[in-house]
Chain A
């Protein structure tokens, strides 16, 4: 009797956990994906085996990682889309600020520690570029969107435009141009100051150039992504 009871309790726990997994997935799903996670959730009622139900539920979490964004079906999904965008931008702002300010401190330390003028200028320019990037990140931080559809739609559009501008146009290129000279001067200065380590610094410099090219690609592709969402929003409003 006790064995049967224990088994029943275990089965209930597995099923409960599976449901919790699916509910969590639905909460964190992008607006367009939510309907699909709900669809998976409904199917779970027809899976008799509890372990199979758990595997089914775990599959739903895979969707969250596989599918970052699904186009909105109608305007009702906009308040949630706006909130998701705010969350994404906030994460970017926080991680960006941590990285830029850490680098500013790091190169600030070099400024006082290095011996040659070129290294010192390179450090100072990098610190200035990092502070400028931090300012841009702060200036383009996201505001909390309103909850009603009409206001959220307007706020969503404004935020998409702001973020698109952050990744292209004068915002991006000024940031990019400000960032380039400091590390280049620093590496060249290090090559001159320490010819025995020239190869290592040249490799760092080459890596920096490759990363810079990648950063351009990444930012422009982000700008295109925001533009696609703006187009999608416009199509929905028509």
Chain B
């Protein structure tokens, strides 16, 4: 499957380049990029399909449901460095959602 190099994909890649070795949560990426869930997740799915993104479920803590986490693979980091837009230039004007519960 082809990876569409849309501006939104570039924004997501740029977000991952902030700490390329850290696992990130979907909602945090959405807040930081301003992308809505319906836009963000298909991008994450395409990146994972192309093996550019590693995914895993967080080890559950007592009483807390596990969260899905994402991190660029080595290929993903190389691809992101090539294709990511500057997040400052391209970040959307305001975050998609507000009001985070820090878990």
Q: CA–CA, A36 to B97, complex, Å?
A: 19
Are B41 and A56 within 8 A (Cβ)?
no
- In the assembled complex, the Cα of A53 lies from the Cα of B39 at a distance in Å of 15
Task: Give A contacts to B, CB under 8 Å.
Answer: 33, 35-36, 38-40, 42-43, 45-49, 52, 55-63, 66-67, 70-71
- CB-based A-B contact count at 8 angstroms: 84
Q: Which residues of B contact A (CB under 8 A)?
A: 25-27, 30, 36-42, 44-45, 49, 65-68, 96-103
Partner of B36, one of A48, A55, A66, A71: A55
Residues of A within 8 A of B26 (CB): 39-40, 43
> 15 more A-B contacts (CB under 8 A) besides A39-B41, A59-B41?
A39-B67, A45-B65, A46-B100, A46-B101, A48-B100, A49-B98, A52-B97, A55-B37, A55-B96, A56-B27, A56-B97, A57-B37, A60-B41, A63-B38, A66-B38
B103: chain A residues within 8 A (beta carbon): 45-46
CA distance A172 to B100 in the complex (A): 55
Complex contact B68–A42 (CB within 8 A): yes
29 contacts between A and B (CB under 8 A): A35-B68, A36-B45, A36-B68, A40-B26, A40-B41, A42-B66, A42-B68, A43-B68, A45-B65, A45-B101, A45-B103, A46-B25, A46-B27, A47-B97, A47-B99, A47-B100, A48-B99, A52-B99, A55-B37, A55-B96, A56-B27, A57-B37, A58-B38, A61-B38, A62-B37, A62-B42, A63-B38, A63-B41, A67-B42
